[in-house]
Structure 1
């Protein structure tokens, strides 16, 4: 075997090896370093990797040191408003970055999805054709050359992210599409609908492959695992289901919540699923056994959004009680409680490095929090109505926020601004 490319994956930390077999076939393998932190003995880790992986040579040692330093950074950046964008005519629903972070998309009640240039704030494309609210949107990351849009008009649009061409309009759901996702290979699309079904579609042909039927009420959350062979769906029927992508079969039904499911997610390793519910709790489930491992209790009102950090070691929950909480995935203990918002929290997310969470609230602000202490490190102010959506880019130095005030805002870290000033002077 001959190593062709050695790639660093920062979030979560890992190494990707692209190599060529003697037969000429090109393949890749990944070495996950999910336990990497500031206290890791990097020399011992390097020696262990070299000992067990003949493809890696000693010359890669400096890059592995860089991997630890970048992936485990604990520096908390301050963010400044970079641009406020007002291209939509009605409130925004969602926003999302592509993998490189040079573009992002916004969905809106005005029936469009817009593609924006992150560096200039310029509107690049307006994807038109839906006859009702564009509610769910996604890039086919890591490729970033396609976009899907799910609408209240019961259809999903598949678009060219560079030209705006609509490849297909995926039809078959009986009511609104409110959740969707590409698989990691960008060969499949999954859509979840208020008609209580999820559907699987072929990207190449636009044809429907499976209908996942089994929920008794609306499906409001849907995700692929990182391999792409399983889908999780969360429903108003109080259950979360796990589906086999290859067969369309119901693998597990996770039961135990006493209220509607609001959000679901796989961890990076794909062995756990979390579900948030309006019963005020979040549950951790085993993908292998289908059993509940932990129930996270502490919120005084509905849990509206949940998320793992990149490595899957921490969970954040956002609630209608105006607070967010950070939890240890293994023990289920609450590490930090974040208080300060004056309205419900509808969106939560970790930054890629995992030391900061962002929360979007109906109080018209986003806040940044220290994961370990729960201290608010910054408020992002300026929107004039509820904030529904927020996201970090892959590097963690840019944030986008989408609001009911019809605008999207780009926020850049002070470090990014300093770098940009340096480049402008060259």
Structure 2
């Protein structure tokens, strides 16, 4: 094994090692999730050089400099006010989803008009229209961190793989017998998982377009799925009230997370994949230990369905969004309530942290998106202007641009 170079990852803090093994280029990451501006850098460097055989003593100074750079980034917290940059009359029918590529230089929108569009973030120009589906394009994703491919899942029961650069369709994945409502790339960008109303999830080979596996086990629609950071595990959330954990190599069920009393709305891993959070129509969010599949906490308090859950990048904090018009921030380890976000006049369908973990973004049926302080619960800004409900909202990787997608057929770029 020979170290080729270091790459820096700001959110969450970490150093990526690019190395050669048997003429193959590989990467491994050193996660520094607990790094703080006041952390003693020397002791971290000592620990890394002791544990990581790829890093020799001669590289210690370089590692020291990289960690200092990460600390400087952590110190730089700007209290940005977001202004409307552009309104994109994106589609002739309502949007279903929006998603950024890793750098935030472009984003995609899916729609009831059967297309997915690729946009340039800086100019708001349309780059490509991905046409070919015969029904609603409901689920969309970039193959981040690479960002050179796009997957679209449709009510026409197919998933398509596209070139983000040219808009060319590489593959059409056929095999589901009902609508595809969720999808994801594994972190290596070698496999796509699709979840369907036909109660199954399928794994597809990005290179060849072949079906690798069908994951059978749920007794109702699968509406949420997510890979862990190695791509070995996949979780699927279903209307059958359960979440399944799968080994993607064998297609076998590792755990079934049983405990919710109603449909699952959202299921997410935290960054190091030690925890799984699940939101449910039973008004609760549950936290599970990934290794054992055991429920280690139930978060109660919402007066209506929990529609979305989200961890921050360190996995220390957890957000819940509800049809009761409120959202909450919890300590994911102690399960204590940190703050409540109150002010929306309609259900909150989407919630997320900015990459730095210093802001929370919510999208609501009251036609507004809002930015909140996760520590205090104070509303910092109301993003107004849409003429129908907002069902999708997201930050770019730097946290300095927001996109909101609405049923009014438009999306808005905020800076």
TM-score, normalization: structure 2?
0.96
Cross-structure match for 2:5: 5
Cross-structure match for 2:31: 32
Please list, as runs of the form range in 1=range in 2, the aligned pairs for 1:96-107 lying within 5 A after superposition: 96-107=99-110
**DSSP-derived class of the 1:57 partner:** helix
Which of the residues 273, 277, 284 maps onto 2:276? 273
Residues 1:215 and 1:35: Cα distance change in structure 2 (over 3 Å): same
> Whole-Å Cα distance in 2 between the matches of residues 346 and 28 of structure 1?
36
Residues 1:111 and 1:252: Cα distance change in structure 2 (over 3 Å): same
Residues 1:203 and 1:25: Cα distance change in structure 2 (over 3 Å): closer
Residues 1:381 and 1:31: Cα distance change in structure 2 (over 3 Å): same
> Whole-Å Cα distance in 1 between the matches of residues 214 and 373 of structure 2?
42
> Whole-Å Cα distance in 1 between the matches of residues 193 and 75 of structure 2?
33
Residues 5-30 of structure 1, C-alpha deviations (whole Å, 9 max, x = no match): 11111111111122346x65544332
CA deviation after TM superposition for structure 1 residue 2, in Å:
4.7
CA deviation after TM superposition for structure 1 residue 262, in Å:
0.1
Please list, as runs of the form range in 1=range in 2, the aligned pairs for 1:397-416 lying within 5 A after superposition: 397-412=400-415
> Whole-Å Cα distance in 1 between the matches of residues 27 and 171 of structure 2?
31
CA deviation after TM superposition for structure 1 residue 94, in Å:
0.4
**DSSP-derived class of the 1:44 partner:** helix
Which of the residues 366, 371, 389 maps onto 2:369? 366
> Whole-Å Cα distance in 2 between the matches of residues 19 and 108 of structure 1?
41
> Whole-Å Cα distance in 2 between the matches of residues 244 and 388 of structure 1?
31
CA deviation after TM superposition for structure 1 residue 206, in Å:
1.1
> Whole-Å Cα distance in 2 between the matches of residues 335 and 72 of structure 1?
22
> Whole-Å Cα distance in 1 between the matches of residues 294 and 12 of structure 2?
26
CA deviation after TM superposition for structure 1 residue 72, in Å:
5.5
1:49 matched to 2:52? The reply is: no
Q: Is the 8 A contact 2:98 2:110 kept in 1?
A: yes
Runs of 4+ deviating beyond 6 Å: none
Which of the residues 245, 248, 252 maps onto 1:245? 248
Q: Is the 8 A contact 1:391 1:401 kept in 2?
A: yes
Residues 1:5 and 1:139: Cα distance change in structure 2 (over 3 Å): same
Cross-structure match for 1:192: 195
* Gap runs ≥5 in structure 1: 413-426
Q: Is the 8 A contact 2:98 2:140 kept in 1?
A: yes
Residues 1:379 and 1:177: Cα distance change in structure 2 (over 3 Å): same
Residues 1:254 and 1:186: Cα distance change in structure 2 (over 3 Å): same
> Whole-Å Cα distance in 1 between the matches of residues 159 and 135 of structure 2?
11
Cross-structure match for 1:301: 304
1:85 matched to 2:106? The reply is: no
1:206 matched to 2:209? The reply is: yes
Cross-structure match for 1:58: 61
> Whole-Å Cα distance in 2 between the matches of residues 214 and 24 of structure 1?
40
CA deviation after TM superposition for structure 1 residue 70, in Å:
1.4
1:129 matched to 2:132? The reply is: yes
**DSSP-derived class of the 1:79 partner:** coil
> Whole-Å Cα distance in 1 between the matches of residues 215 and 25 of structure 2?
35
Residues 1:72 and 1:194: Cα distance change in structure 2 (over 3 Å): farther
**DSSP-derived class of the 1:64 partner:** helix
> Whole-Å Cα distance in 2 between the matches of residues 87 and 120 of structure 1?
14
Please list, as runs of the form range in 1=range in 2, the aligned pairs for 1:131-280 lying within 5 A after superposition: 131-280=134-283
Residues 295-318 of structure 1, C-alpha deviations (whole Å, 9 max, x = no match): 111111100001111111111010
* Gap runs ≥5 in structure 2: none
> Whole-Å Cα distance in 1 between the matches of residues 269 and 95 of structure 2?
26
Q: Is the 8 A contact 2:45 2:60 kept in 1?
A: no
1:332 matched to 2:331? The reply is: no
CA deviation after TM superposition for structure 1 residue 265, in Å:
0.6
**DSSP-derived class of the 2:48 partner:** helix
> Whole-Å Cα distance in 2 between the matches of residues 20 and 206 of structure 1?
28
CA deviation after TM superposition for structure 1 residue 52, in Å:
4.4
CA deviation after TM superposition for structure 1 residue 43, in Å:
4.1
Residues 1:202 and 1:59: Cα distance change in structure 2 (over 3 Å): closer
